[in-house]
Structure 1
Amino acid sequence: MLSNRLGGPGRSDDRADDGVRDTNDDAQLSKLSCVRLGYFQDSFVHHFVRRPTRRSPLINRGYYSRYAALRSLLLQFLALGLSRPAKDTPSGAFQSQQGAAGPKDSAADQVPQPAQQLEAGSRKPEPQSQQQQQAQQRQAAPGKRQVLVLGAGYDTTFFQLAKEGVQADKYVELDFKQVTAKKAAAIQQVPELLACIGGQQAVGSIDPGEGRVLTERYCLLPVDLRDLEQLKAALQEAGLDPAAPTYVLSECVLVYLQPQHSQQLVRWLAEHLQCAAMAVYEQIQPDDAFGRQMLLNLESRGCALLGIEATPTLDAQQRRFTSCGWHRADAHTMQHVYSDCIDPADRRRIERLEMFDEFEEWHLIQQHYCIAVGIKDRTGLLDRFGLPHYAAQPFVPPAVPAALHLPPRFTT
């Protein structure tokens, strides 16, 4: 899905970049395959696929697990603006919040437990006066929510959520210019896409030649993620507020960067954003037999995992966050995510869609992908943000409108 996966330091290897960009097209094929079979809904992905292909049940189920978990995190973040702490809530605490999610997400936000605590040796928050804390909480008001997608490719999440009436106050997508130019042209030419950013009134905000879309709510900009100056300029142009709560998504992006580039990117985001959650989905475990074959397969397609040696395990994924200034972090394999972090009722539903007998390979693949979440927050707004956990508690319907649901809290 995400295509801003870059080659070696300070250079532009067109063949390597082309190989990585091709994974964007592959992901859209997988997404459309899932949509056509009923795994989840997306009314816009077909605009970015030329020749639809039915994927194998193994690929469909894998893409569903990725989609379901990451969408759950995004919707959970967007729900943060639907309630505020009570006046007598202690500083740093945040009361139960329920809210925005799509029709496929269902469960209650009942167990207020924090994500993993600060690791030993990680940088702790600097002491603040009560006046400073209150000022920061006002700046990071939960009513304003921002989303930043690194290497967004042809992802259609913004458009689908807009159709469902669930939107961030600012939604920013970054990718290669070759990708953003094509996406900007599609938005300009397809009435259904254009309607989601303001219709004909927004046409003047689209520049396909430069790969730019700049509206008050949605921005699409070309950026080389190795170049922090480009990134800074793009976020300033988009009007991203560093004081507002921000959700950052890196879906198979950092692992294609050289470690020094991913490290500086993660560190700069921690320094720049005052209240943020960052979700990373990527490959791990390169040193066993399956992992070595995975690396060879990707290298043969021209998209080597340049960064996997720096973050080969769940612990390394967490340390990347905490060593770069994020306050806390958590990480799980997709095997755990599929079994414990996806609504069991929806999981049972999709397991009836196709015959499935590739269990050995399924478990191996799921053990070699992970989701890691980093938190940067001194306001208490994100104390309970993280992957949901269903195994320890039954489903309880939330007291919110039918179109808005929230998964239960993650427990360590």
Structure 2
Amino acid sequence: MSKLASDSHSSTAAVQATNDDASASKLSCVNKGYMKDSYIHFFVRRPVKRSPIINRGYYARWAALRKLLLQFLKSERHGEDRNIKKQILSLGAGFDTTYFQLQEEGIAPHLYVELDFKEVTSKKAALIDSSQLKDKVGQAASISRERGEVLSDHYKLLPVDLREIQKLDNVIALAELDPCLPTFIIAECVLIYLDPDSSRAIIHPDDAFGEQMIRNLEKAVAWDMLQIYNNSIDTREKRRVERLELFDEFEEWHMMQEHYCVAYAINDAMGLFQYIGFSNDQHVLVPSPQLPQESEAC
């Protein structure tokens, strides 16, 4: 194996390892009561206890994405039917459980598609196949551990290296995403692990779609995580979270949260999404983990 190939393999393995770390951190948050997730434990082999600053950081990230997702899923044209079919495409989804959470709450989209390295999707397919999650994707679902695929009417898990643009296009076609339906595209802590040329090719390919994407991105909004935490989470919910653990790392917390951001851009040809985003008068309303739930960077 050449040094270049070896370096590429090592880099890929390191990126895949971040998935296990993220899943363990999410379970730590759940166990401490920051948020509810009935499914993350299926994907964590050895539970760990994270520090309060990590728990709070993962909670803030989860709350920010959830805000945008709920806005997208509940958006509608004024006076029209609420049952507009919608899609979610998650790039580098890892062991994320958002689909199962949304399904539990009765607000899952018409189609939810997850893409990641085959090494990751194979493990996820196996864990789904060997747990009660198998019923969640439907009795008629086709699950292949070898190919790293789960194919059902409303949920699809497919393997692809995002850097291979042609294969990415083919996999998106295989997922049967409808280009005419409103689609929420998630790239949560994914593009930062790619080289600049690869990330540019994903965000704005050199075609008519890419040119439109560039125009959209010129109107993009970006908030750092400190802004989101301070201004876009309901005051009562924030008070509840801040009582969960002793916390005195405020200087480090501010520095860390200002280091991360959420950026989003919207192409709203259907006139559905004028109320999506982070503004001072919109708040993340997150149900308490101790209570039944009422019915993420795009």
Among 175, 197, 208, the alignment partner of 2:137 is 197
The residue aligned with 1:14 is 9
Distance in 1 (CA, whole Å) between partners of 2:169 and 2:109 is 21
Q: How far did residue 270 of structure 1 move?
A: 9.3
SS of residue matched to 1:376: coil
SS of residue matched to 2:167: helix
Sequence identity (%): 47
Distance in 1 (CA, whole Å) between partners of 2:215 and 2:17 is 30
Q: How far did residue 45 of structure 1 move?
A: 0.5
Give matches, 1:223-238, under 5 Å: 223-238=160-175
Among 126, 144, 165, the alignment partner of 1:207 is 144
Q: How far did residue 323 of structure 1 move?
A: 3.5
Deviations 1:278-311 (CA, angstroms, capped at 9, x unpaired): xxxxxxxxxxxxxxxxxxxxxxxxxxxxxxxxxx
The residue aligned with 1:245 is 182
Q: Which one has more relative contact order, counting CA pairs under 8 Å at least 6 apart? A: 1
The residue aligned with 2:196 is 259
CA RMSD of aligned residues (A): 2.6
Distance in 1 (CA, whole Å) between partners of 2:107 and 2:206 is 25
Distance in 2 (CA, whole Å) between partners of 1:347 and 1:46 is 25
The residue aligned with 2:78 is 85
Among 75, 86, 91, the alignment partner of 2:70 is 75
- Match status 1:171 vs 2:105: no
Q: How far did residue 227 of structure 1 move?
A: 1.4
Q: How far did residue 258 of structure 1 move?
A: 1.2
TM-score by length of 2: 0.88
Q: How far did residue 324 of structure 1 move?
A: 5.8
Among 365, 372, 378, the alignment partner of 2:269 is 378
Q: How has the CA–CA distance of structure 1 residues 225 and 324 changed in structure 2, closer, same or farther, with 3 Å as cutoff?
A: farther
CA contact (8 A) 1:148 1:172 kept: yes
Q: How far did residue 76 of structure 1 move?
A: 1.0
Q: How has the CA–CA distance of structure 1 residues 238 and 175 changed in structure 2, closer, same or farther, with 3 Å as cutoff?
A: same
CA contact (8 A) 1:77 1:385 kept: yes
Point out where structure 1 has 5 or more consecutive residues left out of the alignment: 1-8, 88-96, 100-141, 274-319, 396-401, 405-412
Q: How has the CA–CA distance of structure 1 residues 321 and 21 changed in structure 2, closer, same or farther, with 3 Å as cutoff?
A: farther
SS of residue matched to 2:266: strand
SS of residue matched to 2:204: helix
Q: How far did residue 12 of structure 1 move?
A: 7.3
Among 24, 36, 43, the alignment partner of 1:41 is 36
Number of paired residues? Answer: 284
SS of residue matched to 1:371: strand
Q: How has the CA–CA distance of structure 1 residues 335 and 385 changed in structure 2, closer, same or farther, with 3 Å as cutoff?
A: same
TM-score by length of 1: 0.64
- Match status 1:365 vs 2:256: yes
Distance in 1 (CA, whole Å) between partners of 2:5 and 2:228 is 36
Partner AA of 2:71 in structure 1: Q
